[in-house]
Amino acid sequence: MSDSDNRLDPEPETPDHEQYFTYARREVINMINEIIDGRSSVTVYFNQGEERFVTNLLHINPDFEELVFDAPPADAISRRVAESKGATFVTFLDQVKVQFNAQRIEVTTFEGKPALRTRLPESLMRLQRRNFYRVPAPIAKPLQCTIPLPSGATAQFAIRDISVGGLAMLAGPAKAEFNAGMVFHDCEIDLPGHGSINVSLEVRNDQGGGPAGISQRYGCQFLDLAGPVVSLIQRYINQLERDRRALS
């Protein structure tokens, strides 16, 4: 693996990265299942990060807290992994860096072939910074964001694109209530097939404001998203990406 692949190097587990961790068992299981379904290559670092190999996650058994993955081609590497005091797994899932640790790894078989297994991780890191990957919202079934206004009324906007950090939305003629720096709470977004979320939005920028009837575009940032909401948005984005690839 060349130096150009250092984006796959494990992230340090510092307080700055704590915001990217999830400890919810259901979310950990969902993310690992998505890695398995997406057949994403996973790099395993062991021997205090001095050695590594590329593998694929094969099977998850929550009832037995078990995660099975491909063994490396060389038996000697499997033995060294099993003798090591833990390992770190790193992959990318639809542009999101995913990382988790294993304390103990054992040699096993899966469907008659050599494999390795470890205990399901108790936590998982998803590196999702504010400027992270955005996807266009569907045109056929546009997303809508309903925002309570200070007047007590509500405004509904069509979402143009979305990421785990924020969204861009379109309105008709510019509304006086919407200016950069404004914060709106209890905004509702329905993610088809995944459920509704309730979020706080800060308007970061606006474009447009031309003649009446010309759409106004607002760039907004999510504020203080809870872990389950982040996971829901990411799963929706992953689904959009899978649908897009299926049509290409």
Q: What domains can you pick out in the chain, each with its CATH number?
A: 3-127 (2.30.110.10), 135-247 (2.40.10.220)
Q: What is the spatial distance between Cα 84 and Cα 67, in angstroms, rounded to a whole number?
A: 17
Q: In 39-139, which ranges are continuous DSSP H helix?
A: 75-83
Size of the chain, expressed as the number of residues it contains? 248
Q: What is the pLDDT of residues 35-83, one digit of tens each?
A: 998 888 899 999 988 999 999 999 999 999 999 999 998 899 999 999 9
* Rounded CA Rg of the chain: 21
8 phi and psi angles, rounded to 5 deg: -90, -5
Q: What is the spatial distance between Cα 231 and Cα 20, in angstroms, rounded to a whole number?
A: 11
The structure tokens 């494999």 sit at 115
Give the pLDDT score at 153.
Answer: 87
Q: What is the spatial distance between Cα 226 and Cα 19, in angstroms, rounded to a whole number?
A: 10
Give the pLDDT score at 59.
Answer: 96
Tokens of 95: 């542009």
Whether the CB-CB separation of 119 and 101 falls below 8 Å is answered with no
9 phi and psi angles, rounded to 5 deg: -60, 145
Its pTM stands at: 0.57
List of the chain residues with pLDDT < 70 = 1-7, 16, 94-95, 128-133, 172-177, 207-215, 248
